[in-house]
Amino acid sequence: MNDRDFIIGAGGVTFSFLIYWFMGHPFFIIERIVMFIAIMTFTGTLLFFIRKARRGEEIFLREIPGLKAVEEAVGRSTEMGKPVLFVPGIMDMDQVETVAGVIVLGHVSKMTARYETTLNVPVSRAIVMKAAQDVCKESYLMEGRPDMFHEDMVHYLTDEQFAYAAGVNGIMVREKPAACMYMGKFYAESLILAETGNSIGAIQIAGTASQAQIPFFVTACDYTLIGEEFFAASAYLSQRPELIGGIKGQDMIKIIIIGMIIGGVVLRFLHDGGMIDFNILEFLTVR
Amino acid sequence: MLWKRQIPILIVAVIGSITLFGWFINEPNIKSFVDDDATQWFDILASFAIFLGGFNLLKMQLQKIFRRQRGWQYSIFAIAGFFLAITAGFFYKGNPDVAWGTHVTADGTLFKWIFTYMFAPLQATMFALLAFFVASASYRAFRIRNFEATLLLVSGIIIMIGRVPLGSFISSWFILYLLVLIGGITVNSFFKNKQYTAIFVIVGIIVVTAAGSSLGWPLDQPGILYLPYLQEWIYKYPNVAGARSIMMGIGMGIFATSIRYILGIEKSYIGE
């Protein structure tokens, strides 16, 4: 899509919405208009920077030690002749973290194919198993090593949380992988996995958006991708301009949000001081 | 290519858009699709997919046994458990008075017995291991290596002591005396002069004692050094500030990633 098509498309969407709005906006929940505008603004910002990156504008992406260490971890496994263990969380493909984890697995499997290192991916959901098998297969094909790929490198253990943790722990203790990566959605099993990995001396990299599990991973792993860093992993590892553009867009949205927070505090202060009637909390509360 | 790429991307875009924008639309059909139908479709798909998982598990365990791989003996238990659960679920109830279907939760059935006396204790055992792992992880986290680790240690101790009944019996004045001693250590490490350190500690102790005597040594005054208050402040303000910033980053990441999927910008999940 070139610039002209993009502008026509965006203009068409905006124009259609305006017509819909002036026709009395049937079915639209008017109390949620602030959230709707926020989503549209943020989406527009993201798309703007994605297009900028696609046009070839250079975008700086700060170094993320955890992602830089992924190749180092695979290299270490290669040198030691031990496998790489990748755990894509315990939830299904309906969770965005699991999808992000599977995408990172694609990059990791490219590295294991390149370095001819064994990859072991125990999964806890059958759909994740199929998705992960496809992703790995393609990575091995792209690296020109289809001979190294075998479907059993991604294998199903169980849907049950602690049974899965026990199974992965067993693999760790028996096979002693040199690198353990935990990328996905985790719950209480996070520390059980990470501490076992720590006890076998593996280099450990974790990435999750499960806020309650981040401290456990920070404590037990060598590197942890905290929240948004995890979602930036795909852009960082692939270095594809449209994905890096999205990261820049995210940063811009963050600046907008910081501005809104400061503005909100000032407006609330003025409201509480009786200087204005406009109540920002009332305005922003989502119903 | 059409079936492997364009169609899946279209499905993601359409369903993603309906889910996202359906929240703004007050239309019962869209609402019921987003809230119920879509999730039920996923559950149905996942239920069928379990066969793939089950067969994969069986294949892997059998391979292990036949190839006499390391730890193959455990695979015998895995396969035995697999078939026992299938038998109890589909072929043998163990209690003829209970109807098929309800036998998975009804007392006196083989399935329920397996769940109560085999599965639940095994799960509880794994969960209990967490306590030991928390201890070893805490030890590692609380080791004094740098300023941040020290800050974490001090905050952790304050929160732990402040949250138990013992914390409310520790007077603020005791904490003040401790602060004087910690200040003495800081002065000593900074000036490396015993006289300065002694003067600082003695003056500090005299000032705290005089202040305490004149105020009658109230347990919770000054409030900023009373552990139950202090832990609550740490928990409610610095902790929440940090947690919320991480939460906002996560939200931003999820939003941006979802938009990339919906618009078909990120396609790695179906291959490149």
pLDDT digits over A101-126, tens only? 999 999 999 999 999 999 999 999 99
pLDDT of residue B272: 63
pLDDT of residue A259: 93
- With CB atoms and an 8 Å threshold, state whether B252 touches A36: no
pLDDT of residue B119: 93
**Three-state secondary structure string covering chain B:** CHHHHHHHHHHHHHHHHHHHHHCCECCHHHHHHHHHHHHHHHHHHHHHHHHHHHHHHHHHHHHHHHCCCCCHHHHHHHHHHHHHHHHHHHHCCCCCCCCCCHHHCCCCCHHHHHHHHHHHHHHHHHHHHHHHHHHHHHHHHHCCCCHHHHHHHHHHHHHHHHCCHHHHHCCHHHHHHHHHHHHHHHHHHHHCCHHHHHHHHHHHHHHHHHHHHHHCCCCCCCHHHCHHHHHHHHHHCHHHHHHHHHHHHHHHHHHHHHHHHHCCCCCHHHCC
Question: Measured between CB atoms, which of A192, A214, A227 is closest to B133?
Answer: A192
Structure-token pair, residue B215: 């105020």
Compute the average pLDDT of residues B227-249: 91
H helix or E strand, kind and range, residue B225: none
**Which residue from A minimizes the CA distance to B267?**
A103
pLDDT of residue A207: 94
List of chain A residues whose C-beta atoms are within 8 Å of the C-beta of residue B126: 162-163, 165-166, 189, 192
Q: What percent of chain A has pLDDT over 70?
A: 99
- A175-214 b/e (C-beta count within 10 Å ≥ 16 → b): bebbbbbbbbbbebbbbbbbbbbbebebbbbbbbbbeebb
**Which residue from A minimizes the CA distance to B27?**
A27
List of chain B residues whose C-beta atoms are within 8 Å of the C-beta of residue A215: 141
Amino acid making up residue B271: G
- With CB atoms and an 8 Å threshold, state whether A96 touches B257: yes
Q: Under a CB-based contact definition with an 8 Å cutoff, are residues B142 and B153 in contact? A: yes
Distance from CA of A276 to the nearest CA of B (A): 27
Domain range annotation of chain A: 3-60+241-284, 65-231
Torsion sign over Cα B2, B5, B9, B11? positive
Question: Measured between CB atoms, which of B50, B134, B265 is closest to A246?
Answer: B265
Measure the CA–CA gap between B19 and B38, rounded to whole angstroms.
Answer: 9
List of chain A residues whose C-beta atoms are within 8 Å of the C-beta of residue B140: 219-220
- Chain B stretch 163-222, residues whose beta carbon is closer than 8 A to a beta carbon of chain A: none
Question: Measured between CB atoms, which of A92, A155, A211 is closest to B247?
Answer: A211
pLDDT digits (tens, 9 = 90+) for A238-272: 888 888 888 899 899 999 999 999 999 999 999 99
Measure the CA–CA gap between B83 and B89, rounded to whole angstroms.
Answer: 10
Please tell me whether the overall predicted TM-score, pTM, comes out greater than 0.90 for this model. Answer: no
Measure the CA–CA gap between B228 and B7, rounded to whole angstroms.
Answer: 59
Q: Does B121 touch chain A (CB under 8 A)?
A: no
pLDDT of residue A2: 67
Question: Measured between CB atoms, which of B46, B59, B141 is closest to A92?
Answer: B46
**Which residue from A minimizes the CA distance to B46?**
A127
Quote the ipTM score. 0.86
Tell the CATH topology of A65-231: Rossmann fold (3.40.50)
DSSP B155: H
Q: At what angle do helices A126-142 and A96-115 cross, to 10 degrees?
A: 40
